[in-house]
Structure 1
């Protein structure tokens, strides 16, 4: 259901607009307000109502309806705004469009005109939701596949070299990785231990070699 909030200072007009919204399939009127203050409280207060589409009279007793649009945008809310006005001045129309109004309804208008405008607004709102959901999904995948933050002093390119040497599946010692990747043994071991801590690599003692005991590392 597309939630439509009506801001209209004439009670009979507000009631008529709400009735048109309610009789349209897929729409519901989430509330009405007769002033800028009442609309602000309803949409931005602690018990804020939903408003995917805002049917907004621009000339209200306590201010201009565009002030409400600006307040909503500052709060991160961007309903599709249908401006209702009797003002036919082209400069006023351009000003409203620049402030975030999506479409205009010039008074007086018929129920069929309002229905057509609401249908267009609902389609625009649905498209915006899809785009927003896609951006959220994209950000989630970026976070999921982002490289983990490295310890101080470690570099991603060197870590990639160490991973590459282990990619063959063989169990290698720090000395063997260091030689293959042209690194010092302490550097290779530091990166290998980082991968152990990240649970990418398992470490085991290597037996059967003379001299000092050594560990070997293998990708999990």
Structure 2
């Protein structure tokens, strides 16, 4: 279970982010704070794995807060969630080690994508004390965002993001085509096309389940 702290001064946005966190299996919402001293105390007392951090805060800019945390030796993962989309702000956030940068407003699918990046990175970096080059290369490859121009003809990024959001929201669950279709409102035939693509790029694994008669039914599990 990964503990998540939200740093956001807008109560409505904080509630939305909290609800998004609670939708994803293996994430545990710890609380919300905007005061640096309180955030430091929380980090001292609890094992915080991830901070969802806004840029515009009442006292200290979120980027300044992130810098302060790094200077104090806190290497906790951070996802920036903000309306600030200036190039310099984005460069600064990534320079201080932000996993991702979400510009408000955004949908759950995009939030889920950011969490997936974080989980992939976290799983690799926490697995061993010494990390082989192959795993470093895989980490770089897996955390790259899938762009529309990279998709095969006939596949849409919006639909793909929706399916990925569902898969990522309950990691570890095994899904059938019909279950994904029911959950997403997308036809079985369309779901199958996207699952074939995701299996090809090693985002999901298929597992045949043989019944008494007929062809095997395939179930899919999201690759962390």
Please give the TM-score of this superposition, normalised by the length of structure 1. 0.54
1:93–1:18 Cα change, 3 Å: same
> Does the CA contact (< 8 Å) of 1:4 and 1:54 recur in 2?
yes
Larger Cα-atom Rg: 1
Give the one of 54, 57, 65 matched to 2:54.
Answer: 57
Aligned residue number for residue 115 of structure 2? 118
- How large is the RMSD of aligned CA atoms in angstroms? 1.9
Q: Which residue of 2 aligns with 1:23?
A: 23
Tell me how far 1:122 sits from its aligned partner: 1.6
In the alignment, the residues of structure 2 paired with residue 99 and residue 35 of structure 1 have an alpha-carbon distance, to the nearest angstrom, of 19
For residue 55 of structure 1, report the CA deviation from its aligned partner: 0.6
Mapping for residues 71-150 of structure 1, pairs under 5 Å: 71-131=68-128, 133-134=129-130
List 4+ stretches of structure 1 deviating above 6 A: none
Question: Could you say if the C-alpha distance between residues 54 and 73 of structure 1 is closer, same or farther in structure 2, counting changes exceeding 3 Å?
Answer: same
- Higher RCO (Cα < 8 Å, 6 or more apart): 2
What is the match of residue 195 of structure 2? none
Whether the 8 Å CA contact 1:81–1:101 is kept in 2: the answer is yes
Cα distance 1:13–1:31, how it changes in 2: closer, same or farther (>3 A)? same
Asked whether the equivalents of residues 2 and 52 of structure 1 are also in contact (C-alpha less than 8 Å), the reply is: yes
Q: Structure 1 residue 51: deviation in Å?
A: 1.7
Asked if 2 retains the 8 angstrom alpha-carbon contact of 1:53 and 1:125, the reply is no
Given that 2:63 and 2:89 are in contact with CA atoms closer than 8 Å, whether structure 1 keeps it comes out as: no
**2:33 alignment partner in structure 1:** 33
Task: Answer whether contact 1:7 1:33 (CA < 8 A) is retained.
Answer: yes
Q: Distance in 2 between matches of 1:42 and 1:84?
A: 20
Segments of structure 2 that go 5 or more residues without pairing to the other structure are 132-224
Give structure 1 stretches of 5+ with no counterpart. Answer: 136-220
In the superposition, the TM-score normalised over structure 2's length comes to 0.53
Instruction: Tell me how far 1:34 sits from its aligned partner.
Output: 2.9
Alpha carbons of structure 1 residues 125 and 84: separation in structure 2 relative to 1, 3 Å: same
> Is the 1:81–1:103 Cα contact (8 Å) retained in structure 2?
yes
Q: CA 1:35–1:9 in 2, change beyond 3 Å: closer, same or farther? A: farther
